[in-house]
Amino acid sequence: EVVLTQSPGTLSLSPGERATLSCRASQIVTSSFLAWYQQKPGQAPRLLIYGATRRAAGVPDRFSGSGSGADFTLTISRLEPEDFAVYYCQHYSSSPGFTFGPGTKVDIK
Amino acid sequence: QVQLQESGPGLVQPSQTLSLTCTVSGGSITSGSYYWSWIRQPAGKGLEWIGRIYASGSTSYNPSLKSRVTISMDRSQNQFSLSLTSVTAADMATYYCARVKGVVRGVISSDLAFDIWGHGTRVTVSS
């Protein structure tokens, strides 16, 4: 079973700064099955990145995904006030199916 | 555009069955290009996938919940439903329905992800 670990748990940054979020899998995984989501308080998660690097429709280009193998990164090039949220990575495998990482909270410094 | 809306009781008694429905508008659940899924999130915690269903009625469940979960669909109503038996306090959560993209004629292709989500419905387990 693939276990996803996200780091850091919390990232304290100021608007305009660059955010780098890590998602590490317990084994090499298929990049096309790796996605990132943003969740704000009281809201459902929103798909940001799929296939490890592809931006979902309507997602600003300050969000980018990279990585392969077992190490993946979500980068926010310049934080906007609306970007402060929790970010989850997610992977699919035949068993146990879909799994999520524990999340990284990006909060205002 | 496609929208999903969860509905069902917000309060379930311990040991009883939790039943929720997701109504899909703006698209058909019989499309061969998507799975339809349930995901839950306890307050202040992370996301847990529960299971998914395809247009044919085929299902797949999280092994940790498989013995208690059934997902079904009503094509005439364009809805799919979740049934979770023998609930306990550990099942208290916000339950989301979501669409899974990256499926071709029922087979997982590539770029798999939950691309559309419902707003979620909070379920409390209490007597």
CB B67 within 8 A of CB B56: no
**Model pLDDT, residue B106:** 81
Contact state of A102 with B46 under an 8 Å Cβ cutoff: yes
Confidence of residue B105 (pLDDT cuts 50, 70, 90): confident
How many residues make up chain B in this entry? 127
For strands A63-68 and A10-13, give the pairing.
unpaired
Q: What is the mean pLDDT of residues A45-67?
A: 98
- Are residues B56 and B34 in contact, defined by beta-carbon separation less than 8 angstroms? no
**Position B4 pLDDT exceeds 90:** yes
Instruction: Using an 8 Å CB-CB cutoff, list chain A residues near B49.
Output: 97-100
Q: What is the pLDDT of residues B14-32, one digit of tens each?
A: 999 999 999 999 999 998 8
Q: CB-based contacts of B76: which residues, under 8 Å, 6+ apart?
A: none
B34 at A interface, C-beta within 8 A: no
| Cross-strand pairs, A11 | A106
pLDDT > 90 fraction of chain A, expressed in percent and rounded: 96
The reply to whether residue B46 touches residue A95, judged by beta carbons under 8 angstroms, is: no
What pLDDT does residue B107 have? 87
Question: Which residue has tokens 């410094």?
Answer: A109
Rounded-to-integer distance, Cα B111 and Cα A64, Å: 15
Calculate what percentage of chain B has a pLDDT beyond 70.
Answer: 100
CB-based contacts of B3: which residues, under 8 Å, 6+ apart? B24, B25, B26, B116, B118
pLDDT beyond 90 at A95: no
Nearest by CB to residue A103, choosing from B37, B46, B120, is B46
At residue A1, the pLDDT reads 87
Work out the average pLDDT over B22-49: 96
Give the span between the Cα atoms of B5 and A82, in whole angstroms.
25
Selecting from B49, B115, B119 the residue whose C-beta is nearest the C-beta of A97 gives: B49
Between the alpha carbon of residue A2 and those of residues A45, A54, A93, A100, A106, the distances in Å are: 21, 22, 8, 10, 24
| Residues in Cβ contact with B32 at an 8 Å cutoff, skipping those fewer than 6 apart | B55, B103, B104, B105, B106
CA distance A95 to B30: 25
Window from A67-71, B93-97, B106-110 with minimum mean pLDDT: B106-110
